[in-house]
Structure 1
Amino acid sequence: MRLIFLGPPGAGKGTQAARIVEAHGIPQLSTGDMLRAAVAAGTPIGIKAKSVMDSGALVSDDIVIGIVAERIEHADAKKGFILDGFPRTLAQAEALDAMLASKGLKLDKVLELKVDQTKLVDRIVKRAEEARAAGQPVRKDDDPEVFKTRLEAYNRDTAVVAPYYAKRGQLTDIDGMQPIDAVTAAIEKALA
């Protein structure tokens, strides 16, 4: 099962991906984690990424697709994987499709967590308060101003990815404003 989770920051992609990982035994692939792992492992693509990152520049789509291509060859991803927060742009979506096709693979489902963006800031503030109350570190993304900037970037750059997959008949919308367990149930129903 090869999945993509789309939705703005704070929509619950990470929470739901963790549940799918648990239920289906497929890894959640974060491009940031994969980049750091490739750099640490000194793989050819990791060496390329490190030189770009060391210069302070953003890693190119080619490098990110190369990292994903490398990662999905690992044994734990043979049954499938979840891409969370990737692709972020139309160019990345097209490059991902081309890379998967070159391996004889395709996506099984693209799930978009639909949320009321006006309520997301409240959700993020609540998440930060709950982390503090539990004695856990607060994610730097949970600062309301940082969050608003991330949300603007999502709406500007990433929101165009969902229509791309909708045109291909691969997109399923999930109401992300429901309670967490209801969202999980809706996702499982979409995957059945």
Structure 2
Amino acid sequence: LPLGLPKIMFSTLASGDTAPYVDVSDIIMMPAVTDMAGLNRISRVVLHNAAQAIQGMATKPAPPPDGKPSIGLTMFGVTTPCVTAIADQLRSRYDCMVFHATGTGGRSMEKLADSGLLSGVIDITTTEVCDLLFGGVLPATDDRFGAIVRTGLPFVGSVGALDMVNFWAPSTIPDHYRGRLFYEHNPNVTLMRTTAVECRAIGEWIGTRLA
């Protein structure tokens, strides 16, 4: 279903790992609380609330966009100053959509590109490629940059945050990376510095996709 179309998934699994169901959509996940084995005093209320929510979204649609062309930009912590400055320069003429480059962010941006909802892409932060190639936790898919090639949209790319691979807590880092240079961003996020050999592989991978 297209982005912006009201949608709710009412499920007993809504409080679990819903990434495979949500992915890059804007679906609302609503926990059922009790199993759907007939109605009870809890399920009646929760189903009523779900129905009222979808009715409200359907009968009170968002105002139409202002008509400015949309530009997709990718951002990560280390590229925030750069992307913020670019967006500030463009915002008077373009609707700037900034995507957090955490795997789903890149996929979301490319989905909009494939759907004809972007007029151009400023892909400052291509860090998801690092995680794809070297086992990080915020990876792109093999189709990263595919939408750019398919649509022929105006494209500006850069190498933002390609000097790091993302992992969770230090205890989760694969054994074969022990001894590498790490930066503990916080107790739950650890960054591994890419080597010259890895950076070359990243550049070749991106170049092949865009060629």
Q: Normalised by the size of structure 1, how large is the TM-score?
A: 0.36
- The higher radius of gyration belongs to 2
Q: Which of the two has greater helix per residue?
A: 1
Q: Normalised by the size of structure 2, how large is the TM-score?
A: 0.33
Work out which structure has the larger RCO, using CA pairs closer than 8 Å and 6 or more positions apart in sequence: 1
